[in-house]
Structures are given as C-alpha cells and as structure tokens.
Amino acid sequence: MNISYKPFELKLRHPFTIAKFSRTFTPIMLLEISHEGLTGYGEASMVPYMGESIETANSFMSKVDLSWLKAPFNFDELIVYLDSIASGNPNIKAAIDIALQDLRGKIEQKACYKYFNADPAKMPPTSYTLGIDTPEVILQKIKEGESCHIIKVKLGRDNDQELINTIRSVTDKPLYVDANQGWTDRQQGLDMVLWLQEQGVVLIEQPMAKDDPDSNAWITERSPVAIVGDESVQRFSDVEKAKGVYHGINVKLMKSAGMHEGYRMIMKAKELGMKTMIGCMSETSCGTLGAAALAPLCDWVDLDGPFLTSNNPYKDPDFNDGKWQLSDTPGLGLIKL
Ligand code: MG
C-alpha cells in the first residue's frame, strides 16, 4: 500500500465570516492511498479553529504505517491505531479513513454508500450557507445559491435580525441558522429563537458556548425550533453527552475522524432518539462525496463545500433538485479534473 499526500489551498468564493473569525482560503491536505493499481482519495480540510495545519498533518503522517492493514480494511482497528498515534488530529485521520473507504469500494466494486445501507432515494436536500456580510453581498450570495432549496445563515452578531430581514425580502425558502456559540445570554437567546421561528427557521446550531451544556439545555428545553449541537459534538464519545442538551447533533467527517466514526455517531444519535444533521467544512468534492454517502441516513444535510469554493480540483458531484446524487460507481465516485 502506497500513501502520498500534498497540501492544497482551497479558495473560497467569498471571504467567509462567522461569529468568531474571517478567512479567504482553507488549507487542505489531499491524500491518495494506492493498492494493486487502484487509488483511494481522501481529504483533510484544516479550518483554523480546529487547530490542525499542514505542519501537524505532515507530522502525523510521518508516524503512520499502514503496512499491517489488509483489504478488506477493518475500520474499527484502523481508528484504534490512528488514535494510538495521537488523540487529536481528526482532520488528517478523516483523510486516511475517506481514502481507504474509497479504495475498499474500488477493490470490491461497490459504491461507498452501500456499506452504510444508505438509500439514495432518501437523500435530503442540502442547505446553502451564507456567512455574515453586507446586505448587498448577502443578496448576491442568495442568487448564487439559487439551486438549493434551503438557506443556512450564520448569526451571532448584533445585526442578526437585519440579516434575516434582508434574506426574507427576497426569498421564503426554509432557513437553518448557525449561531456558532455566538449567543451569551439565555433569555436573549430564547427570545431570538422565538423570533426566528416566526421567520421560518427550521433548526438552530450551537446557540451558546460549546462548554456550557446547562445554557444550551435551558434553551433546548424551551425551544419550539430544533436545537443542534455542533462544536460541542466532535467524536463518538460526545454523542451520549449531547442527549438532553440538544435535540440533535451535527456530524462532520472532519470532526469524527472520517466516515466510519461519522456513521457510528449517526446511528448512536438515532438510538438515543436524537435528530441528525451532516455538515462539512470548506471541502472539495472528495469530502463532500464522503459525507453524501452517509447523508440519506440523516434528517438534515448541509454539504455546500463545492458551491462555496472556486478551485475544486475534482468534478462537482452530480446535483439535482437541490440534492446530491449518489452514483453507483465503485468507491466515492470522485472524478479528478
Ligand atoms: Mg455549525
């Protein structure tokens, strides 16, 4: 098995602003694992707030030796091995998991989604994310996201209501809201939730600080709108802790260290009676297809990476009627440009 990887700057179509920061590109590690003439593709998207970088990814990869791993790969053993190298680094671990999922599918001539019993007919529509911006840019972005049936909006500044009003002046599409831990007062947060419900908001991600379960639970208990934990739910062990704090969880491959653990998190949340969402960082078609393979298992989908970036090195996945289309091509179905 041969592993190669190289850094890549994934450019954002617009500078991306959320409650806590702003940026113009995302450092990515593109990873390939080859075995007997077949190649699996993986990706690590290292958004700065996750704490990983090209340097930490290189350092992690220098310690990885997969010579013990035989096809068909045992993904339970793989994650135990990767976690034994270092407890963190979920982004680069995700790249390895995704590449091996793609490779397994190619070796066994099976589309990735079939390993997870995901039904393509149950694919939910994906939302299209708007960062915090001026009304002019917001209106332009809404136009760019016309093919999506749902808009997701990042809130957490003092002009939140103005932003929603701007959106509502041109469209009545359902809205997902992401507060990104930006709300600091429970009562004000709840007042906002009730106002947002009147504006057609379907769900709200991470209203308050990730390490303040009491305040998030206080809002969840009183909210008529679904409250979803994102920053506070990273890996499998966080799912159980989220019960009672949120109505649902947002799974992202870059948090869950890949598709294998992402799948386990979705299943665990369902077992606990919680709602599930699958989201993404700024990702190429590689990460998007990895998450799309699990998306039919979820209630809500927020996979808009290819829409928000301008130099995706892969073909955009097929998209129709606001939904990603899963192909029966073995593996992820990723096409290199
Ligand atoms: Mg979020």
- Indicate the helix (H) or strand (E) that contains 307: helix 305-308
Residue 97 in contact with residue 257, Cβ under 8 Å?
A: yes
Return the CATH number of 2-110, one of 3.30.980.10, 3.20.20.140, 3.30.390.10, 3.40.50.2300. Answer: 3.30.390.10
Break the chain into its structural domains and give their ranges.
2-110, 114-324
pLDDT, residue 21, reads 67
- 114-324: which CATH topology? TIM Barrel (3.20.20)
The amino acid sitting at 295 is A
| pLDDT band per the 50, 70, 90 thresholds, residue 239 | very high
- Cα(18) to centroid of ligand 1, in Å? 10
Could you give phi then psi for residue 178, rounded to 5 degrees? Answer: -120, 110
Task: Write the pLDDT tens digit of every residue in 277-316.
Answer: 999 999 999 999 999 999 999 999 999 999 999 999 999 9
- Distance CA(284)–CA(299), nearest Å, equals 23
- Distance CA(112)–CA(124), nearest Å, equals 18
How large a percentage of the chain has pLDDT more than 90? 91
Task: Write the pLDDT tens digit of every residue in 121-151.
Answer: 999 999 999 887 889 989 999 999 999 999 9
| pLDDT band per the 50, 70, 90 thresholds, residue 109 | very high
As a whole number, mean pLDDT of residues 61-72 equals 95
pLDDT, residue 111, reads 98
As a whole number, mean pLDDT of residues 84-109 equals 98
In the numeric block, the tokens 């393979």 are attached to 293
pLDDT, residue 14, reads 83
- Cα(207) to centroid of ligand 1, in Å? 10
- Cα(329) to centroid of ligand 1, in Å? 30
pLDDT of 16 over the 80 cut = no
| pLDDT band per the 50, 70, 90 thresholds, residue 17 | low
- Cα(5) to centroid of ligand 1, in Å? 28
- Cα(155) to centroid of ligand 1, in Å? 10
As a whole number, mean pLDDT of residues 89-116 equals 98
- Residues 6+ positions from 206 with CB-CB distance below 8 Å: 178, 179, 180, 181, 216, 228, 229, 230, 231, 232, 250
User: What pTM was estimated for this model as a whole?
Assistant: 0.96
- Cα(69) to centroid of ligand 1, in Å? 34
Domains 2-110 and 114-324 share a fold: no
pLDDT, residue 23, reads 80
As a whole number, mean pLDDT of residues 206-221 equals 98
DSSP calls for 13-54: EEEEE-SS-EEEEEEEEEEEEEETTEEEEEEEE--GGG---H
- Indicate the helix (H) or strand (E) that contains 77: helix 75-85
Residue closest to 182 by CA, chosen among 150, 213, 205: 205
Residue 246 in contact with residue 216, Cβ under 8 Å?
A: yes
pLDDT of 19 over the 70 cut = no
- Cα(68) to centroid of ligand 1, in Å? 36
| pLDDT band per the 50, 70, 90 thresholds, residue 64 | very high
As a whole number, mean pLDDT of residues 254-278 equals 98
Pairing of strands 319-320, 323-324: antiparallel
| pLDDT band per the 50, 70, 90 thresholds, residue 18 | low
- Distance CA(75)–CA(162), nearest Å, equals 47
- Cα(229) to centroid of ligand 1, in Å? 8
pLDDT, residue 206, reads 98
Mean pLDDT of the chain: 96
- Cα(2) to centroid of ligand 1, in Å? 35
- What Rg do the C-alpha atoms of the chain give, in angstroms? 19
pLDDT of 88 over the 80 cut = yes
Task: Write the pLDDT tens digit of every residue in 169-181.
Answer: 999 999 999 999 9
Task: Write the pLDDT tens digit of every residue in 156-211.
Answer: 778 889 999 999 999 999 999 999 999 999 999 999 999 999 999 999 999 999 99
- Cα(330) to centroid of ligand 1, in Å? 31
- Cα(230) to centroid of ligand 1, in Å? 5
- Cα(177) to centroid of ligand 1, in Å? 9
- Cα(255) to centroid of ligand 1, in Å? 11
pLDDT, residue 156, reads 79
Residue 157 in contact with residue 180, Cβ under 8 Å?
A: no
- Distance CA(337)–CA(330), nearest Å, equals 18
